[in-house]
Structure 1
Amino acid sequence: MDRIWITGFRNYELGIFNNKDPKLTIINFAINKLLTNAIYDDCNWLITGGQLGIEQWAIEEALNLKQTTFPDFQIALMTPFVDFGKNWKTDKQEKLTKLKQSVDFSSSVFNTPYEGPKQLKAYQQFMLDHTDRAIIFYDREAENARARFDYQAMKNYASEHNYPVMLIDLDRLQDYADEYQMRNSDYLE
Structure 2
Amino acid sequence: MVKTILLSGYKSHELGIWDQKHPGISVIKHALEGRLRVLVEEGLEWVIIGGQPGVELWGAEVVFSLQEEFPDLKLGVLTPFLEQEKNWKEERQDYYNSIIDRADFVDAVSKKPYIGPWQFKARDQFSLDNTEALLLVYDEEKEGSPKFLKAAADNQAEQGNYDIFLITMYDLQVAAEELQERERTDFY
Please indicate, yes or no, whether the TM-score normalized by the shorter chain is above 0.5. yes
The match for 2:19 is: 18
Q: Secondary structure at the match of 1:47?
A: strand
Once the two structures are aligned, what percentage of the paired residues are identical? Answer: 35
1:3 to partner: Cα distance: 0.3
The match for 2:6 is: 5
The match for 1:113 is: 113
Q: Secondary structure at the match of 2:184?
A: coil
The answer to whether the Cα contact below 8 Å between 2:31 and 2:167 also exists between their aligned partners in 1 is no
The match for 1:125 is: 125
- Indicate yes or no: 2:46 matched with 1:45: yes
The match for 2:164 is: 165
1:33 to partner: Cα distance: 1.2
The match for 1:155 is: 154
Amino acid at match of 2:99: L
Distance 2:62 2:41 in 1: 15
1:186 to partner: Cα distance: 6.4
Q: Secondary structure at the match of 1:5?
A: strand
Q: Following superposition of structure 1 onto structure 2, how do residues 22-101 of structure 1 map, counting pairs within 5 Å?
A: 22-66=23-67, 68-101=68-101
TM-score, length basis structure 1: 0.92
Alignment coverage as a number of residue pairs: 185
Distance 2:89 2:21 in 1: 19
Distance 1:112 1:186 in 2: 51
Distance 1:86 1:20 in 2: 23
Q: CA RMSD in A?
A: 1.5
Query: Which runs of 5 or more structure 1 residues have no equivalent in the other structure?
Result: none
- Displacement over 3 Å in runs of 4+: none
Amino acid at match of 1:51: Q
The match for 1:181 is: 180
Query: Which runs of 5 or more structure 2 residues have no equivalent in the other structure?
Result: none
Distance 1:38 1:127 in 2: 18
Amino acid at match of 2:72: D
